[in-house]
Chains A and B, each alone.
Chain A
Amino acid sequence: MSRSTNRIWPLLVKRIGMLIFLSALGYAIFLSVGGTYRLNDADLQSLFGERSDLIRESEADFVDQPIRGKWAFLSELRRVSKVVAVDARIRYGLSEQDVEGMASRNDGQPFDLKGEIARFEQEGHQEKAKKISQWLGWYDGKSLSEEELKTQLALKATDINRGISGLELSPYAALAITRQASQGPARTHPGRTFLIIFGLALLGGMMVILPEFRHEPGIKNNHIQFNGLNSRGLAGILLGTLLIVFYIALYWFPAWVAEWTLMADPLSYWINGGPSSQWFLYGWLYTFAVVTMAVRFAIKYRHSPYHLVRTASVTFFQVGFAFLLSNILHRLQLPSRDLKNIWPLEYDFFYAEKMNAMLYPPALPWFGKAMFVLGIALIVLGVPLLTYFYGKRWYCSWVCGCGGLAETAGDPFRHLSDKSLKAWRIERYLVHGVLLFAIFMTITVIGSYLSNSETFLGIKTPMIKQWYGFAIGAVFAGVVGTGFYPLMGNRVWCRFGCPLAAYLGLVQRFKSRFRITTNGGQCISCGNCSTYCEQGIDVRWYAQRGQNIVRASCVGCGVCSSVCPRGVLNLENGPDIDRTAIQALRIKKDGVQVLP
């Protein structure tokens, strides 16, 4: 008995590890919701400029007042902003007297815009002057009666005043304010807090992961279907909820994770030279998850060289390209992109600001241009050629960031993908629909760019960009794509939503040397392959009739081949003849049918 899997201590280590990990997570959540917040005079000045006077006057209590808890702070902030807005309108808006004054001064003669602006500036109303120059340009030189002017200007003033808010509370501004106000250890000792939280998470994670070495190499999916975390039990639902909330915070309420960005500041300064945005934080968390869970994956599948090489590859591309390189480019003030990202997954590649950043960069123009050329080359040459030779796996399970997370952190949830025919039908409509949407959106973007107009073919470009960014970029790819790992499996986005996967899939389906070959009549229909297919392909349906598998959605992760107890499935590249042939349909009569 050289090895025993029955000993107690590995289970104990795993339990304790899980507790340590959960306490790190709990502490991080506590820091982000349970801290104390205070804005002193200097903070107000730096955050709100002259608006801070309004707060000092009408909400003196707010200044230097410690507030416990993020909810309380953010709702207080909203309240103050509302109160201040009333005062701000009075102070910075155009009053009835202002309107009447302008009307009487310009009665029946050409409207003197310059004079009015100068007048308000002289009186010290810089903001009013600015508003007038911005909004009343149309009246410049027009002659109207006092009455007429009065009615029209009054209407304008209402519009102008409506736009005057108290404190700007856009998601980014709220994040900046919360970061400034936060008083806890994340603010005072960010480096130390960062090390404690991620140190504990790493320690706990490794205590859970490394004892898996006690099992002999080979597939050990024991208890996955009993474990609530892996099979939509309470733990799974909780994890899903947590992830969904995190993504919602990330996209729309970054102030919720302000403390986490504060903690990441030292790392961010070190790598890209600036403070951490929520996106830097996200990049770090993503990379941390990929790397630690890659260790788990590599241990679990260590008997398979294919999985070891592939896992090393996705980890390298996540750490090197997505995280380090894009941040270093930012630091060097070069156009910053994840160089391995490809349109239409990178749906904003053709956005004017991004193209201009690459084509007309402030420094090293050849670099930005090379980056643009690389991006185009990947779309028109890289995808078809590499997919022809190796199948879409070259990207989806070897390079891609979404794939990287799915193949590492997502592995414990791969069996949750729906294998039904119905799901396949939905998948085809949805994923190709998103591809069409992406193409359509990009055409309007490029059209607008070239014609230098806000609309193209009668479509408002900013609106369609906004819709795509919201529905596909944020909700589908982020909230659903990753938040639903514990509910619908680890490839929800890749299977149902990713337009690049759709493009790669079309090539793989119709012109590629890749397929999963089945081994004659050896299939026993056990169902492990279908169960563990993260893309929801009913692999067994093909295997049991001896048919090779050529499917647009297959990302070539190779797990079906690994979990097969009879050695039936193999990922292979080879001459593109008769890839879908049924090789062993009738074994009894004519022997195993072979390629013609």
Chain B
Amino acid sequence: MHIVILGNGISGITCARYIRKQSDYQITVISGESDHFFSRTALMYIYMGHMKYEHTKPYEDFFWAKNRIDLERAWIEQVDTERRVLHAKDGRSFNYDQLVIATGSVSNKFDWPGQDLPGVQGLYSIQDLEELERSSALGINRAVIAGGGLIGIELAEMLMSRNIPVTILVREKSYWDNALPPGESAMVTRHILSHGIDLRLETTMKEIIAGPDGRACAVLTDSGERIEAQLVGLTAGVSPNIAFLKDSGIECQRGVLIDRFFRTNVEEVYAIGDCAEFREALPGRRPVEQVWYSGRDHGQTLADTLCGNASEYRPGPWFNSAKFLDLEWQTYGDMPAQIGEDLSSLYWEHPSELKAVHLLYRKGDKRFVGINSLGIRYRHLIFDRFLREERTIEYVLENLAAANFDPEFSKAYERDILELYNQQTGSRLQPRNKRGLRGVLQLLKSV
């Protein structure tokens, strides 16, 4: 059995590793982007000088040969599902018995005039990073970033680290308010502004203008303003990287269409990670899951199936995290930007520091449904339990201290949060646990 995995990102590599753990199949991972697996989320730190490229490789180079995972460097241009052959740009071809498509994403472009000019780019791949370095070497007096969200703020932070002034154009009223509720979004917005970033809300890009050298030199906004910029970042989301599958017979919509076993319409062809689209979205989830963690889950689950232990994708409670400049964000469970009628919310914010905790629960049975936290770390382990065991908000609040994951000597605010709830609802809850491992074990044993 020869399994070929297209793409050496977190999805493809996790799949390869777990196939190896369970089988002796021949495994080949093909990537055009890099020789070895690296952490895509760490690209920003290379540009900022926190790390070098080699630091972003989670496994030493000897790891692959030792685990008999063959690595090939090639861009695949054509997939022949009839003969089970892949054709690469450099003329080579690769046979497979089973194919796993894990090709990730490409940056979104929305048909802006000038979007293909030099000096206009997204931030997704190593090649994007190299492009950014080339542009930086030419000198950037100002950069305009079109689109907010997580990649937009990362790109802004990167450029700021090189003392490049940044303007971010965001369609929304408040930063990332299509994903964050108003309180959190407002805090993130304040934080971005405090770093000296020129954040323009409710502003979109109309056009990118070329200079005499043929490179981008300015951006026109919908208000008609012209902003001089030598670099334009396109960070309005990403879409599945599936252009090379055009004539393969593999059915695609936004992404490669798959069922819950990651099967495409073609026998022995599977798709995982950013590039896959569930024919039927999982409850509470999007059909295309573009998160590091879901990619890792996909890879693990598909590896089971490929090794003869057919496994349906049944992920646990949602979780995610990110960092907006210096502000850490973690979320567990469902935290919609717009809170429905049937939900109640407890929003606590520190009077002066950048810390906020937002807990959501159902009105009737007070069942806890999700949390956003900014500037405070919480334990995945504990919140996963709260959600699986369908605990009430009151249980969560009473045991919240045990879920705290902030470093020692940090000030704890769980009591303040609980008091806020008591005040708002007239309850008289008392904390049942203390912070730290002792509290965690106490809580786990009490179940």
Q: Which residues of A contact B (CB under 8 A)?
A: 1-6, 216-219, 221-227, 303-306, 308-309, 420-421, 517, 519-522, 524-528, 530-531, 540-541, 544, 558, 561-563, 565-567, 570-575, 577, 583-584, 586-589, 591-592, 594-595
Q: Which residues of B contact A309 (CB under 8 A)?
A: 409
A530 to B, closest residue via Cβ: B55
Report the Cα distance A571→B56, complex, angstroms: 23
Q: Which residues of A contact B10 (CB under 8 A)?
A: 525
A-B contact pairs, 18 of them (CB 8 A): A2-B194, A3-B196, A5-B163, A6-B196, A217-B326, A218-B326, A222-B48, A223-B49, A305-B407, A305-B411, A520-B381, A526-B39, A530-B55, A562-B407, A563-B50, A565-B328, A570-B406, A574-B436
In the complex the two chains form, is A526's CB within 8 Å of B380's CB?
Answer: no
Report the Cα distance A460→B297, complex, angstroms: 63
Report the Cα distance A520→B60, complex, angstroms: 23
In the complex the two chains form, is A221's CB within 8 Å of B50's CB?
Answer: yes
CB distance from B193 to the nearest CB of A (A): 7
Report the Cα distance A1→B199, complex, angstroms: 10
Report the Cα distance A527→B54, complex, angstroms: 9
Report the Cα distance A226→B163, complex, angstroms: 15
Q: Which residues of B contact A217 (CB under 8 A)?
A: 326
Report the Cα distance A525→B198, complex, angstroms: 31
A573 to B, closest residue via Cβ: B437
Report the Cα distance A305→B385, complex, angstroms: 29
Instruction: Kindly list the 5 A-B residue pairs having the minimum CB-CB distance in the complex, ordered from nearest.
Output: A574-B437, A520-B380, A218-B326, A567-B377, A305-B409
Give the number of chain B interface residues (Cβ < 8 Å): 66
Report the Cα distance A566→B60, complex, angstroms: 23
Beyond A520-B379, A558-B407, A588-B315, whether A526 also contacts B56 by CB under 8 A is: yes
B323 within 8 A of A: yes
Q: Which residues of A contact B55 (CB under 8 A)?
A: 527, 530-531
In the complex the two chains form, is A528's CB within 8 Å of B50's CB?
Answer: yes
Q: Which residues of B contact A308 (CB under 8 A)?
A: 409
B351 within 8 A of A: no
In the complex the two chains form, is B405's CB within 8 Å of A570's CB?
Answer: yes
CB distance from B20 to the nearest CB of A (A): 15
CB distance from B323 to the nearest CB of A (A): 4
Q: Which residues of B contact A530 (CB under 8 A)?
A: 55
Q: Give the one of B58, B196, B313, B441 with max A CB within 10 A.
A: B58
B179 within 8 A of A: no
A218 to B, closest residue via Cβ: B326
CB distance from B406 to the nearest CB of A (A): 8
In the complex the two chains form, is A223's CB within 8 Å of B161's CB?
Answer: yes
Q: Give the one of A522, A573, A574, A575 with max B CB within 10 A.
A: A522
Q: Which residues of A contact B388 (CB under 8 A)?
A: 591
Q: Which residues of A contact B293 (CB under 8 A)?
A: 521-522, 587
| Interface residues in B375-424 (C-beta closer than 8 Å to A) | 377-381, 384-385, 388, 405-411
Report the Cα distance A519→B293, complex, angstroms: 13
In the complex the two chains form, is A565's CB within 8 Å of B314's CB?
Answer: no
Report the Cα distance A558→B408, complex, angstroms: 10
Report the Cα distance A358→B55, complex, angstroms: 50
A531 to B, closest residue via Cβ: B55
Mask for B28-57, Cβ within 8 A of A = 1, else 0? 000000000001011001101111100111
In the complex the two chains form, is A221's CB within 8 Å of B49's CB?
Answer: yes
CB distance from B282 to the nearest CB of A (A): 12
In the complex the two chains form, is B161's CB within 8 Å of A572's CB?
Answer: no
B74 within 8 A of A: no
Q: Which residues of A contact B300 (CB under 8 A)?
A: 586-588
Known: A519-B380, A526-B45, A589-B314. 17 other contacts (CB 8 A): A2-B196, A5-B163, A5-B196, A6-B160, A225-B46, A227-B49, A305-B409, A519-B377, A521-B380, A522-B321, A527-B51, A558-B407, A563-B50, A565-B328, A566-B322, A567-B328, A574-B440
B301 within 8 A of A: yes
In the complex the two chains form, is B160's CB within 8 Å of A5's CB?
Answer: yes
B246 within 8 A of A: no
CB distance from A316 to the nearest CB of B (A): 16
Q: Give the one of B55, B161, B314, B410 with max A CB within 10 A.
A: B55
CB distance from B401 to the nearest CB of A (A): 14
Report the Cα distance A420→B39, complex, angstroms: 17
Mask for B343-386, Cβ within 8 A of A = 1, else 0? 00000000000000000000000000000000001111100110
Q: Give the one of B51, B300, B326 with max A CB within 10 A.
A: B51
| Interface residues in B152-186 (C-beta closer than 8 Å to A) | 160-161, 163, 165
| Interface residues in B307-353 (C-beta closer than 8 Å to A) | 311, 313-317, 319, 321-323, 325-326, 328, 330
Q: Which residues of B contact A592 (CB under 8 A)?
A: 316, 380-381, 384-385
CB distance from B321 to the nearest CB of A (A): 4
Report the Cα distance A572→B322, complex, angstroms: 23
In the complex the two chains form, is B377's CB within 8 Å of A570's CB?
Answer: yes
CB distance from A474 to the nearest CB of B (A): 33
Report the Cα distance A522→B377, complex, angstroms: 11
Q: Which of A222, A558, A588 contacts B316 (CB 8 A)?
A: A588
Q: Which residues of A contact B385 (CB under 8 A)?
A: 591-592, 594
Report the Cα distance A227→B441, complex, angstroms: 45
In the complex the two chains form, is A522's CB within 8 Å of B440's CB?
Answer: no
B444 within 8 A of A: yes
Q: Which residues of A contact B41 (CB under 8 A)?
A: 524-526
Q: Which residues of B contact A4 (CB under 8 A)?
A: 196
B439 to A, closest residue via Cβ: A574
CB distance from B333 to the nearest CB of A (A): 13
Q: Which of A3, A227, A303, A526 contacts B42 (CB 8 A)?
A: A526
Q: Which residues of A contact B134 (CB under 8 A)?
A: none
B298 to A, closest residue via Cβ: A588
Q: Which residues of A contact B411 (CB under 8 A)?
A: 305
In the complex the two chains form, is A522's CB within 8 Å of B51's CB?
Answer: no
In the complex the two chains form, is B381's CB within 8 Å of A525's CB?
Answer: no
Report the Cα distance A589→B314, complex, angstroms: 7
